[in-house]
Structure 1
Amino acid sequence: MTEPTPLIATPEHTVEGFVREYLRELNFAQGTILERASVNDHYLALARTVRHYLMARWITTTTEHYRRQPKAVAYLSAEYLLGRQLDNALVAADLEDIAAEALASLGIDLADLREAEVEPGLGNGGLGRLAACFIDSLATMSVPAIGYGIRYEYGIFRQTFVDGRQVEKPDEWLVGGAPWEFAHPEHEVTVGFGGHTERYVDGEGDDAVERTRWVPGWKVLGVPYNYMVPGYRNGRVNTLRLWSSRATHAFDLKIFNHGDYAEAVRSRTFAENISKVLYPEDSTPQGKELRLQQQYFFVACSLRDFINQLLPEDFDLHDLPERICFQLNDTHPVIAVPELMRILVDEEGFDWDEAWEVTRRCFAYTCHTLLPEALEVWPVDVLGRLLPRHLEIIYRINDEFLARVREHSGDDELLVRRMSIIAEHPARSVRMAHLATVAATKVNGVAELHSQLLRDKVLADFARFWPEKFTNVTNGVTPRRFVRLANPGLSGLITEAIGEGWVTDLDRLRDLEPLADDAEFRRRFREVKDANKHRLVDLLARRDGIEIDPGTMLDVMVKRLHEYKRQTLKILHVITLYDRIVSGEVAVEDLVPRTVVFGAKAAPGYVMAKEIIALINHVGAVVGAHPEVSKVLRVAFPANYNVTVAETLVPAADLSEQISLAGKEASGTGNMKFALNGALTIGTDDGANVEIRQLVGDDHFFLFGLTEPEAAAMQEAGYRPSSYYEKNRSLRRALDLVAHGEFSGGNRSTFEPVVSNLLGEDRFMVLADFQSYLDAQERVEAAYRDPDAWSRSAVLNVARSGFFSSDRSMRDYMDRIWHAEVLPPL
């Protein structure tokens, strides 16, 4: 294959060439000299230097996409947790060694500049990390794709602890500069809100057609910021486009000159609020409206951008399904469905039926939850006030859909009500998951069990009506960031054993299986794990002032703080160990020393989750202060867990806690990262745990707890959590310690809400699974006492987890849903 001529000159791929580019950036972009430059100056110069090496590929890629017009993917996601960009760009451009040597020749340590980078916190958790993995894989697989989202000025809050309780601080990730983004105000998009609709006649005589136009009450501008998404050494660089909101008239000089300075910039403040904060707290009506504004803002910008910027001027939009699939990442972007209908019908002159035919072939929907409350519902008064034309379109979509339902089901009005996009109770509202399911060409879950439960329970009526619509694509994670970058010791060991191809073909990890029985390989594997633990020790000491013992079992539970994920179950286990030591029931020498590490943020308005965080921190303080208990048990809860911390913590972990109530976790991706990095899983048969256990084998997975059918049957029969408290001595003692103030300075009221919730409702059945969990932890301790056998299981976890590559997920999406074109490497 003949390599295409770059459209711009690429810097020389040598140490000398890198030094020249770096000094040019330092001098002429940062306006300083080597001797006077700050660490941030050096970081910004380095980032811009590295991006120079990717830009020719990026421009060539985007130009080819425009010229060839291949079937592509547009990934619509409200979240992208990208992590730091520098290392990923260095690896993609094959510059790691050159950059390190070039900087060293100038007396600069690359590691110091890595630390200067602030990761953009443009996501809340797994949804955003998954989106980042997916766009990485699409670029690496040479799939023409673009990610669309929001450039939040303040990302997910920076978590701090005050007296053990979570306090939220602004995440000012843009303060030091954002060298990886490219602003394009010339491609701004105007987005309307509010106002009214009106009917008018288009044409004359027999050609006259009655149409509708939307007259917005106010407008904002969406300014695109582009980020490069480099493939792994394949010459391809795709684009992530994030939208920032601006006022159409940012400043009123006349009002300013009359002295009303606040009013002069009011429109600017109002407009910029839309992209100000990731997921504004929505317990107020204003917060709810702002969330809907965010969702419509970014999809309206994205659809218009794709049509105006990425399609030829003479493109026939009847052919849009042959050019693009818009993937709806959960319900946040679903308002894109009526927006495309509005564009086609109101602006492009399509009749309704042909517009619907185009629209329903352009969208696919990924559902990421099994919790009914997580399926977004918008009150019609809110939606109608902000987007009156869209509500009209939704009503018509619903009317025509329900006519089809009645045609197939006869007089089953209960079925019609259940399937309606419009819910009537408790208040009239739009069910966004129903709208997505009606409009999408495919609906997928994100693990085998999750997809089955979607078909059987969450969207059962729709699955019976359209069985061909439903499919599964099990999630995956990118091996570039979460093994190749995060775990260089293990990556080097794997490459030495089986070659480099595994980085883009993770199925090749199977070649490691025979080495699980090689004593020397197991020894070296343990050395890597030990080195990773020491890296974590250094990070936590430097970042948080937390001291942990690298010689202990590292028992890790990191994920968003939510009751269904059951951090409460983990801390009850810690309390039980504490109680057994303090009471003399067990001697410290009879226990495996362990350090329990939590990492989690609670949504600012989620009161119970924040109470659980406080309980964990207070238990940790008491455990750490006890002279006997602290010899064998410690609890660490570093604040502000993020992708950067994960890249050090995950490779160090021995035990991965995946303990949600069966039937509540859609998939999980943390479980995959831990398995790929050699941690063993203790978990329920929930989400992707099911597939992990099936692949790694029962002997290398610590299974416990109720199955989904058992949990459902128990809840149906009338679950009484207090009965477990009454009959289980260990559980009773643990809860009594909390209730009697052992971890709150004797204050019995401090954690009363947590105890009352567990004894009274315990919606996620922590108490029912408590004893099974303790029994599984006994098996963990027994297994960990044999380091060689544990290492063998850990190696097999790595070897058998290649299925969980996001590259494989993308192949499944391509085969089952998107059918996009794969281009040759450049």
Structure 2
Amino acid sequence: MTETGAPPAISEPSREPDAIRPLPPPPALPEEVDGDVMRAAILAKLTYAVGKNPEVASKRDWFLATTLAVRDRIVERWMSSTRKTYESKRKRVYYLSLEFLIGRLLIDALMETGLTEPVREALAGLGVDLDELRKIEPDAALGNGGLGRLAACFMESMATLQVAAHGYGIRYDHGLFRQAIKDGWQREYPENWLTFGNPWEFERPEVDYSVGFGGTVDTIEVSEDETRHVWKPEETVDAIAFDTPVTGWRAAHVNTLRLWSARAPDALRLDAFNQGDHVGALAARVRLEAISKVLYPSDATPAGLELRLRQEYFFVAASLQDIIRRHKQHHGDLRTLPDKVAVQLNDTHPTIAIVEMMRILLDQEEFGWDDAWDITTAVFSYTNHTLLPEALESWPVPLMERLLPRHMQIIYLINALHLELVRSRGEHDGGMLSALSLIDESHGRRVRMGHLAFIGSHKINGVSALHSDLVKRTVFNHLDRFYPDRIVNKTNGITFRRWLFEANPGLTKLLVDCCGAQVMDDPNALARFEHYADDAGVVDRFQTIRRAKKVELAKIIRQRLEVTVSPDAMFDVQIKRIHEYKRQLLNILEIVALYDAIRANPGGNWVPRVKIFAGKAAASYHQAKLIIKLANDVARLVNRDPAVRGLLKVVFLPNYNVSLAEAIIPAADLSEQISTAGMEASGTGNMKLALNGSLTIGTLDGANVEIRDHVGDDNIFIFGLTTDEVDARRRKGIDMADVIAASPMLEEVLDALGSGVFSPGEPGRFGDLVNTLKYHDYFMVAADFDAYYATQRLVDARWHDRAAWWRSAIINTARMGFFSSDRAIAEYATDIWNVPIVAKP
């Protein structure tokens, strides 16, 4: 099983993984690669890898040839980076995540390697437009939202800081789903991103691990005092590795993203096939290979719930086999694992890795319990991304016992020793012990994966200052008392290379002109931009850059939705997963109120607005899908009403992904970050939008708090209940009849929704939404409505004062240096992983 840059010796047919032979130094890489060199490389790939003549080559052929030519340059650095890691024997980070939302890679790779202009020149000489080629590449459907995009940013920053790292995840055949909007409703279709293959990846068929499920556990008496356990799985599936190089800035270092694909050990049952049961002969293969088909299969059925657990165990089991195999090969004794290995669990999805590590150390490596536990807790750390109970995950004990019987035995013992420790520290209250237990007995016996992640990790981090504080005060309050000093804060960050340099080259050029070339390497150099906040020439350039991006987005809106919007209107943007706590519904209610106000006072000094929504709802999340329908029904009525005279437009762009985000974010004027206070862990869209000069309207939630601290109260629009006020209101009750009665505007909006104004063919369509807001407003939509509407009018006033608006926009960009993912990774490296960073952020 080979590693990039460390091929097995070829003098004899050894099967030993990662066997290394002395290699000559890597070939010198030219400092300058011109268009002629790249033209020759692209033509060679077109001929010998794609098998086409230039005269008949399609755009896809040119895309493949260009990608392969660029990939060659990256592979050279990849091999060099891998060799250096082996030679230095330094500690590696392994980032386990169920999502990696890496987006399109061609332009990203060109920017990271400095090859954009040579490749553009080369293609132009061949009659090919690079900007057209970039559209050929599909987005890698490996994630859903912020969790997956954060993982991608962190992988890029680890490479940039030259942290030796591997990402591990699943190579989903179809990702989450491709979202289409039919008659205003979300429809889900397979995301066929692999139809034409993936030229960035390297299949490693020799990296093949067996992962088991079900079966029995035998107990072997080794001596009077010692027993060993042997798990005999009922079925197995093979995990096949696919590697993608992850390039850091200026390609100084390249790490590996290794994704696992599920393959059945037997392609088909030949006996059944020969008896005519052609479908049945493939049944076992289809069931096993479903593991890597889609991201987040619906868990609304027992079969879906089991498939999710199979996915999570599949990828961590394969990853740990790979990690331990590599460590034993290069460092020998597994007792040194904490010195050479750091494993980061990105949310609770990979938590079963803690138990799998214990199983390997106990059952396969024959460690004693205490030594195995000390190694495991020293190796693992856990990032919590949410306070929502459903997102912390828990699994029914009967399902765990059937699917992972040995793991359930280990969980029981971890829990027993954990509760024994709690009792030894003076806690004997039954209620407290129940709250601290890994097994939730309250609604059917379930394993609390968040508790397991906490107990099995040496560090637990939240992802914003507010969130980390709430983690201590809420979901892990009791555990924090008995395991103090484990919870730390690591505020999220974003890679400026993708979300500024690549997404907004015009603004990047302006920043270089104002702040110097240093801004390309040092996020802190952005601060110099603030000196130009009142410079008329710079403001004019910034406005021109923004308007050009708005023209591009308006074209996308027209092409996809057949709606014409003005680039001179305010682009008011809410782009994120559709969820009640993110409160797209609050935004829609304000749209209806504004719509009514414009019609009632057509001569008012209204700010023209384009309200832009994008995001997916989970396939089984009825309320979220109903919110999408409402947004589209409101858009249909508002956009067609001549009385509005184009002052208000509403659009919902389907199938939100990284590429669409790259088009929306540089064009946004106003960033909607309006989640219920205390419920958004951090957010990263808020950082991307502010970095590009968008002003934020938001609650004091997640990283909004820190954004406000950096940009200042005058350059952000904060409204609504605070976290403590939300808690107080919930204790008082979430029936909002009194709040609605005190707000004639809100009452009128809800009457319109409930009476069918926006759904004339089905008057009761939005009755559930209205009743929820009236009688069970857990997410404080009604409670925050008046404050939100009033703050939006403050936004209007700022927009009318163009000098003030652009001054705030420049200050937002200038003060975003803190929110670089390089800073975040440097903090992880120092405070959690204890690994060196070669390049300084």
TM-score between the two structures when normalised by the length of structure 1: 0.97
Look up the equivalent residue of 2:247 and give its one-letter code. Answer: P
Which one of the candidate residues 207, 222, 236 is aligned to 1:219? 236
2:593 touches 2:745 (CA, 8 Å); kept in 1?
Answer: yes
- 2:417 maps to which residue? 400
1:662 touches 1:684 (CA, 8 Å); kept in 2?
Answer: yes
1:774 equivalent in alignment to 2:800? no
- 1:243 maps to which residue? 260
1:681 touches 1:702 (CA, 8 Å); kept in 2?
Answer: yes
1:40 touches 1:176 (CA, 8 Å); kept in 2?
Answer: no
Q: Mean alpha-carbon deviation: is it higher for 168-177 or for 815-824? A: 815-824
Deviation, structure 1 residue 13 = 2.1
1:681 equivalent in alignment to 2:696? yes
2:337 touches 2:379 (CA, 8 Å); kept in 1?
Answer: yes
Q: Mean alpha-carbon deviation: is it higher for 541-550 or for 191-200? A: 541-550
Which one of the candidate residues 100, 103, 107 is aligned to 1:80? 100
Return closer, same or farther for 1:55/1:812 CA change in 2, 3 Å cut-off. Answer: same
1:66 touches 1:310 (CA, 8 Å); kept in 2?
Answer: no
2:698 touches 2:718 (CA, 8 Å); kept in 1?
Answer: yes
Deviation, structure 1 residue 12 = 8.2
1:125 equivalent in alignment to 2:140? no
Which one of the candidate residues 288, 302, 313 is aligned to 2:319? 302
2-structure distance, mates of 1:70, 1:568: 50
Deviation, structure 1 residue 413 = 2.2
Deviation, structure 1 residue 824 = 6.0
Return closer, same or farther for 1:558/1:10 CA change in 2, 3 Å cut-off. Answer: same
Residues 501-520 of structure 1: CA deviation (Å, up to 9, x unaligned): 22332121111111112221
State the superposition RMSD in angstroms: 1.6
Which one of the candidate residues 641, 653, 662 is aligned to 2:677? 662
1:282 equivalent in alignment to 2:302? no
Q: Mean alpha-carbon deviation: is it higher for 633-642 or for 509-518? A: 509-518
Deviation, structure 1 residue 580 = 1.5
Alignment of 1:35-434 (within 5 A): 35-202=55-222, 209-309=226-326, 311-312=328-329, 315-434=332-451
- 1:785 maps to which residue? 800
Q: Secondary structure of the equivalent of 1:122?
A: coil
Residues 563-592 of structure 1: CA deviation (Å, up to 9, x unaligned): 00000000000000111223xx32254201
1:550 equivalent in alignment to 2:570? no
Percentage of pairs with the same residue? 47
Deviation, structure 1 residue 528 = 1.0
Look up the equivalent residue of 2:270 and give its one-letter code. Answer: L
- 2:592 maps to which residue? 575
2-structure distance, mates of 1:778, 1:296: 50
1:26 equivalent in alignment to 2:46? yes
- 1:629 maps to which residue? 644
Residues 762-810 of structure 1: CA deviation (Å, up to 9, x unaligned): 1101000000001100100000001111000000000111111111111
2:740 touches 2:746 (CA, 8 Å); kept in 1?
Answer: yes
Deviation, structure 1 residue 185 = 0.9
Return closer, same or farther for 1:520/1:314 CA change in 2, 3 Å cut-off. Answer: closer
Deviation, structure 1 residue 722 = 1.7
2:355 touches 2:411 (CA, 8 Å); kept in 1?
Answer: yes
Deviation, structure 1 residue 10 = 7.7
Structure 2 gaps of 5+ residues are 1-23
Return closer, same or farther for 1:630/1:576 CA change in 2, 3 Å cut-off. Answer: same
Structure 1 gaps of 5+ residues are none
Look up the equivalent residue of 2:612 and give its one-letter code. Answer: V
Q: Secondary structure of the equivalent of 2:533?
A: helix
Which one of the candidate residues 25, 43, 62 is aligned to 1:5? 25
2:216 touches 2:405 (CA, 8 Å); kept in 1?
Answer: yes
Return closer, same or farther for 1:57/1:588 CA change in 2, 3 Å cut-off. Answer: farther
Q: Mean alpha-carbon deviation: is it higher for 161-170 or for 311-320? A: 311-320
Deviation, structure 1 residue 752 = 1.0
Q: Mean alpha-carbon deviation: is it higher for 532-541 or for 681-690? A: 532-541
Look up the equivalent residue of 1:124 and give its one-letter code. Answer: N
2:826 touches 2:837 (CA, 8 Å); kept in 1?
Answer: no
Deviation, structure 1 residue 256 = 1.9
Equivalent residues, number: 818
Return closer, same or farther for 1:824/1:126 CA change in 2, 3 Å cut-off. Answer: closer
Q: Mean alpha-carbon deviation: is it higher for 734-743 or for 747-756? A: 747-756
Q: Secondary structure of the equivalent of 1:312?
A: helix
- 1:609 maps to which residue? 624
1:623 touches 1:630 (CA, 8 Å); kept in 2?
Answer: no
2-structure distance, mates of 1:254, 1:615: 54
Residues 168-196 of structure 1: CA deviation (Å, up to 9, x unaligned): 11100000221011100101111000001
1-structure distance, mates of 2:91, 2:714: 44
Look up the equivalent residue of 2:278 and give its one-letter code. Answer: Y
1:509 touches 1:800 (CA, 8 Å); kept in 2?
Answer: yes
Deviation, structure 1 residue 54 = 0.5
2-structure distance, mates of 1:235, 1:810: 17
Look up the equivalent residue of 1:101 and give its one-letter code. Answer: E
2-structure distance, mates of 1:99, 1:465: 58
Q: Secondary structure of the equivalent of 1:468?
A: coil
- 2:727 maps to which residue? 712
2-structure distance, mates of 1:721, 1:296: 43
Return closer, same or farther for 1:74/1:539 CA change in 2, 3 Å cut-off. Answer: same
Return closer, same or farther for 1:208/1:68 CA change in 2, 3 Å cut-off. Answer: farther
Q: Secondary structure of the equivalent of 1:81?
A: coil
Return closer, same or farther for 1:588/1:445 CA change in 2, 3 Å cut-off. Answer: farther
1:517 equivalent in alignment to 2:503? no
Residues 18-73 of structure 1: CA deviation (Å, up to 9, x unaligned): 11211111111111111111111111111111101110100111122223221121
2-structure distance, mates of 1:63, 1:251: 40
Look up the equivalent residue of 1:121 and give its one-letter code. Answer: A
Return closer, same or farther for 1:197/1:747 CA change in 2, 3 Å cut-off. Answer: same
1:740 touches 1:746 (CA, 8 Å); kept in 2?
Answer: no
Q: Secondary structure of the equivalent of 2:642?
A: coil
2:217 touches 2:229 (CA, 8 Å); kept in 1?
Answer: yes
Q: Mean alpha-carbon deviation: is it higher for 459-468 or for 550-559? A: 459-468
- 2:9 maps to which residue? none
- 1:486 maps to which residue? 503
Residues 697-722 of structure 1: CA deviation (Å, up to 9, x unaligned): 00011110001111101111223212
Look up the equivalent residue of 2:322 and give its one-letter code. Answer: D
- 1:695 maps to which residue? 710
2:174 touches 2:293 (CA, 8 Å); kept in 1?
Answer: yes
Return closer, same or farther for 1:437/1:208 CA change in 2, 3 Å cut-off. Answer: closer
2-structure distance, mates of 1:387, 1:578: 55
Look up the equivalent residue of 2:689 and give its one-letter code. Answer: F
Which one of the candidate residues 534, 552, 558 is aligned to 2:551? 534
Deviation, structure 1 residue 234 = 4.4
Q: Secondary structure of the equivalent of 1:220?
A: strand
TM-score between the two structures when normalised by the length of structure 2: 0.95
1:143 touches 1:821 (CA, 8 Å); kept in 2?
Answer: yes
Look up the equivalent residue of 1:632 and give its one-letter code. Answer: L
Q: Mean alpha-carbon deviation: is it higher for 330-339 or for 588-597? A: 588-597
Look up the equivalent residue of 2:220 and give its one-letter code. Answer: Y
- 2:769 maps to which residue? 754
1:337 touches 1:359 (CA, 8 Å); kept in 2?
Answer: yes
1-structure distance, mates of 2:632, 2:659: 22
- 2:469 maps to which residue? 452
- 2:835 maps to which residue? 820
Return closer, same or farther for 1:320/1:7 CA change in 2, 3 Å cut-off. Answer: farther
Return closer, same or farther for 1:476/1:84 CA change in 2, 3 Å cut-off. Answer: same
1-structure distance, mates of 2:60, 2:526: 39
2-structure distance, mates of 1:20, 1:100: 13
Which one of the candidate residues 618, 633, 657 is aligned to 1:642? 657
Return closer, same or farther for 1:8/1:283 CA change in 2, 3 Å cut-off. Answer: farther
